[in-house]
């Protein structure tokens, strides 16, 4: 309904220019904006850009256009002109009718009229370590973007590409072989991904000790690296893996399966899921075949040492290695093969890669290579770049074991939610199981909101202690507002109804106007792939509702009509909070 009215208002502007100035405008040229809070009104048409057509002063132009439009719309209560800003104030009847329609609508927000099939690839972990804080932002962004695009009407496939091969995987395998003494997740009472990650860190420690000993014996740092027995063994293991050595493959499968089981536990708790799983061990050979074919077709070239490259200098980039001289693949080779396999499986219009901003160059190159190979899906490749997450203590280094583990982080968020909730005395009347669920909901809700409210392109400095607060721009404040709405609705003795005989308080009108803008926010969030826009709208919803709540009695309003209206506002607020929260992967507690 909101889009319909804006379209109608734009059309009236077009008709005004045709009638008053004998000039043809298109609706695309007409911009209707939200009125500046310092002016009276709900919607504004800015006259300034059209003064060359009206050939009169801004105030005169605004008055003439405003009079023409107001005569055509019963919904317009009045208009005013502030310099070149033509502001329209709508009738209470319009807003009440809109609220009534929202209450009966099956879902909120108008969907796209041009749905596409979109794949969103996120998470992309390595099987040599558990998920960490950086993965958390990646997963939450990817999942939220998938939810937003699907809600907006697109056909979305959520994909995960697992990096399960390479020298880094062999480092964990070798360390396990040398130091584990047969330890398993069960015998060590440890999640499988944590167990494998432990041996990845152990390899790095032993490798550094070995280098230090070699350097102490008179070798240079570079010579020490070359003569490292551990690194030589890891490379030999990778060669055996690529040759299909049964013993090596058996160890690889055992450790990977432990990691997958650990990942599944973390993903479930985090609340993310996937429709398709790809593994680089299954795609790198396809990529090699495509590169070799590209060489024979003259798309790529071979250097004297036998390595295969692509020349992107005419595209403003440089030359890029695709296959090493020994025939082994690089990351780009694998991504070429994976891109092709994903398209074969799903035939999507767009393929969105949720990957940190340090890989922007990589995805520019990938898109160019796919174009040079003549792939029909190349244009649909998009890199959804995002900034890194840091702690007050600085960046994270996995190889040294200095990393904020995702599972530990979720545990910390649970504990912080428990502490803050008990401090506020908001646990009365809840059974232990319900309390545990509440702490989990609040803790993960705070984490998700904190990481998603920031523009994806920006770096985040994450402090868990700041993310849980019952006041301010936090997930907890929003969840508490939902619980407040739920409590009021449970206490009500009448059904929420909207009567057209009541007059709106300014805070009631502001809240309904805010609902009206959800269509625009949803559209922008889908177009920009920005959960931050939904998060800001979610916070504003909670703020506007609390302003209304503090200004207007609800259950003790003067008349049944007012009680019904305010219960309607409360029910719609709860519906909006739950809808937007779901787009961020947040659960809303009905009691707290």
Residue 161 lies in a domain: no
398: confidence class by pLDDT, cuts 50, 70, 90: very low
| CATH code where residue 28 lies | 3.30.1360.70
In a domain, 272, yes or no: no
Domain boundary among 26, 59, 90: 90
* 359 part of a folded domain: no
Residue written as token pair 């309003």: 557
Among 419, 350, 339, 412, which Cα is nearest to 379's? 350
Domain C-terminal end among 64, 90, 116:
90
pLDDT digits (tens, 9 = 90+) for 326-372: 887 888 999 999 999 999 999 999 999 999 999 999 999 999 999 99
What is the percentage of the chain residues whose pLDDT exceeds 90?
Answer: 79
Picking from 234-238, 256-260, 457-461, which range would have the lowest pLDDT averaged per residue? Answer: 457-461
Residues contacting residue 74 through CB under 8 Å, at least 6 positions apart: 91
Q: Is 464 among the domain residues? A: yes
Q: Which long-range contacts link 67-70 to residues 24+ away (Cβ below 8 Å)?
A: 68/12, 68/15, 68/16, 68/19, 68/20, 69/9, 69/12, 69/13, 69/16
Supply 224's token pair.
Answer: 């020490």
Q: In what order do the strands lie in the sheet with 301-302?
A: 301-302, 308-311, 319-323
CA atoms 419, 421, 425, 426: torsion sign: negative
Q: Apex CA 88: angle with CA 86 and CA 89, to 5°?
A: 145
| Cα four-point dihedral sign 502, 505, 508, 514 | positive
Q: Is 127 exposed, middle or buried (0-12, 13-18, 19+ CB in 10 A)?
A: buried
Answer for the pair 17, 26: CB distance below 8 angstroms, yes or no.
no
Q: What's this model's pTM, rounded to 2 decimal places? A: 0.92
Can you give the residue range of the structural domain that contains 12? 2-90
Kindly state the helix (H) or strand (E) to which residue 439 belongs, with its residue range. helix 432-452
How many other CB atoms are found less than 10 A from the CB of residue 529?
A: 23
Inter-residue contact 262 to 127 (CB < 8 Å): no
CATH of the domain at 570: 1.10.730.10
SS3 of 158, please? strand
Give the C-alpha separation, 359 to 342, whole Å. Answer: 20
Comparing 211-215, 283-287, 422-426, 525-529, the range with the smallest average pLDDT is 422-426
90, 118, 147: which is the final residue of a domain?
90
User: What integer is the mean pLDDT of 377-388?
Assistant: 94
**Does the residue 373 lie in any domain?**
no
In the chain, the number of structural domains is 2
Tokens coding 119: 């794949």
Instruction: Say whether 339 sits in a helix, a strand or coil.
Output: helix
Is position 25 within any domain? yes
Confidence of residue 393 (pLDDT cuts 50, 70, 90): low
pLDDT of residue 221: 87
Indicate whether 575 belongs to any domain.
Answer: yes
**Domain membership flag for residue 306:** no
How much is the mean pLDDT over the chain?
A: 92
């Amino acid at each position: 309904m909101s889009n319909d009215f804006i379209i109608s208002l734009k059309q009236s502007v077009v008709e005004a220019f045709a009638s008053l100035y004998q000039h043809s405008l298109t609706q695309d040229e007409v911009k209707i904006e939200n009125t500046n809070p310092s002016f009276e009104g709900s919607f504004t048409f800015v006259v300034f850009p059209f003064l060359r057509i009206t050939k009169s002063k801004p105030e005169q132009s605004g008055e003439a256009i405003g009079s023409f439009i107001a005569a055509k719309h019963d919904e317009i209560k009045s208009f005013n002109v502030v310099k070149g800003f033509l502001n329209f104030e709508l009738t209470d009847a319009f807003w009440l009718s809109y609220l009534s329609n929202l209450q009966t609508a099956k879902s909120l927000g108008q969907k796209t009229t041009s749905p596409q099939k979109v794949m969103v690839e996120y998470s992309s972990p390595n099987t040599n370590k558990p998920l960490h804080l950086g993965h958390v932002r990646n997963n939450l962004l990817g999942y939220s973007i998938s939810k937003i695009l699907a809600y907006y009407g697109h056909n979305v496939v959520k994909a995960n590409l697992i990096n399960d091969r390479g020298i880094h995987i062999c480092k964990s395998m070798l360390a396990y072989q040398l130091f584990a003494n047969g330890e398993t997740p069960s015998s060590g009472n440890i999640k499988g991904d944590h167990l494998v990650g432990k041996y990845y860190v152990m390899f790095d420690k032993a490798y550094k000790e070995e280098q230090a000993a070699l350097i102490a014996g008179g070798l240079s740092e570079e010579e020490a690296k070359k003569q490292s027995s551990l690194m030589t063994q890891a490379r030999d293991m990778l060669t055996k893996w690529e040759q299909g050595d049964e013993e090596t493959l058996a160890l690889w499968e055992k450790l990977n399966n432990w990691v997958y089981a650990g990942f599944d536990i973390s993903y479930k708790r985090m609340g993310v899921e996937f429709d398709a799983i790809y593994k680089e061990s299954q795609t790198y050979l396809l990529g090699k075949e495509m590169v070799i074919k590209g060489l024979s077709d003259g798309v790529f070239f071979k250097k004297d040492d036998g390595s295969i490259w692509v020349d992107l200098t005419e595209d403003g980039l440089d030359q890029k290695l695709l296959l090493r001289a020994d025939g082994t693949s690089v990351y780009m080779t694998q991504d070429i093969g994976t891109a092709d396999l994903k398209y074969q499986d799903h035939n999507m219009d767009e393929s969105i890669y949720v990957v940190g901003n340090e890989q922007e160059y990589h995805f520019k190159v990938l898109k160019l290579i796919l174009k040079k190979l003549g792939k029909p899906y190349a244009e649909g490749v998009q890199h959804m770049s995002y900034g890194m997450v840091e702690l007050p203590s600085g960046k994270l280094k996995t190889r040294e074991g200095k990393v904020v583990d995702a599972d530990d982080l979720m545990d910390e968020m649970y504990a912080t939610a428990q502490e803050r909730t008990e401090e506020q005395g908001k646990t009365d009347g809840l059974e232990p199981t319900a309390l545990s669920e509440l702490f989990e909901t609040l803790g993960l809700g705070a984490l998700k909101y904190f990481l998603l409210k920031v523009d994806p392109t920006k770096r985040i400095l994450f402090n868990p202690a700041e993310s849980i607060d019952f006041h301010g721009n936090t997930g907890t404040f929003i969840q508490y507002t939902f619980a407040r709405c739920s409590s009021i609705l449970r206490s009500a003795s009448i059904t929420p109804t909207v009567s057209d005989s009541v007059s709106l308080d300014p805070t009631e009108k502001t809240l309904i106007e805010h609902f009206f803008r959800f269509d625009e926010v949803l559209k922008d969030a889908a177009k920009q792939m920005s959960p931050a826009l939904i998060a800001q709208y979610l916070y504003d919803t909670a703020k506007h509702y609390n302003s209304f709540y503090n200004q207007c009695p609800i259950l003790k309003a003067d008349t049944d009509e007012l009680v019904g209206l305010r219960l309607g506002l409360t029910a719609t607020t709860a519906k909006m909070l739950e809808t937007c929260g779901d787009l961020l992967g947040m659960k809303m507690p009905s009691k707290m």
